[in-house]
Structure 1
């Protein structure tokens, strides 16, 4: 991954129960490409990963969500896992944080069950997306155009299905962050 995104500031928004590799792999790719990355969470000190079928590592929270300003970041990454997005979509502050990136056309990368949070923004109608197959109906019901591909890119929005797609996900995430903000004029309609 040769793309250099030095000077870019990226938030990884997460809660307890994120799929471990879906946070650690993009985090490593972002840092290797020169980005400054902050773990942002409703938790104030640390978040705990889910690793396949058991609890995994704990990751320090860099910026508690209550202190985070989405306008301070160039891009957002939302890891999956079953618990993580479910907790976040029920948290209005998480929804509003993610909504900022969609409204402003800033790169947003979400994998696996992560797009469940984006459903709550009401801003994915007409967007090309993928996800873990079990939530495709949720995305379709929110107006997304869902397809079963390793990575789907729609005007700065990067989505992938599962950990097996991480290489493609990370590559496209870095590419979109490198391109920067996208024009959102006339992009959003309600479902």
Structure 2
């Protein structure tokens, strides 16, 4: 998937500056897409050149002017076309999994530490996602939100990110248990 599709998804929330988009990536699409601010700004320039977005300049006192981006009709069509096309299969590229694959020939304690760190990262992300979920629901039940919200995509992707991190925790607990048992049986 191209970064432009993730930017279009973020712009469906409304007009945003590059800075706002970088924050939005961290707060709304980080559960399925990561990008640096530099990557986002480069992509915004390409998308503007391609006519997918338009920018307007907002003059600010005591701060540099900012550009606010929004999707054009061509951008909305491109978003529609993207959703209509079948997705390519995803692939996991995870350095921790390579380390786990090699644990029998490597430093088991270091791999266990890395798994523990991944679990701590997952716990922090789960807490953040739960805060995001509470903001999205805004006092409504999940059923009420899904029935009446203007957009359900952000909630559904948030639920996927939450499930992913919960599974990371379950896997980490199991992997650490297996490695501890193997270490105990060797000594």
TM-score strictly above 0.5: no
TM-score, length-scaled by structure 2: 0.26
Report the structure, 1 or 2, having the larger strand content: 1
Higher Cα Rg, which structure = 2
Q: So what's the TM-score if we normalise by structure 1?
A: 0.26
Larger proportion of helix: 2
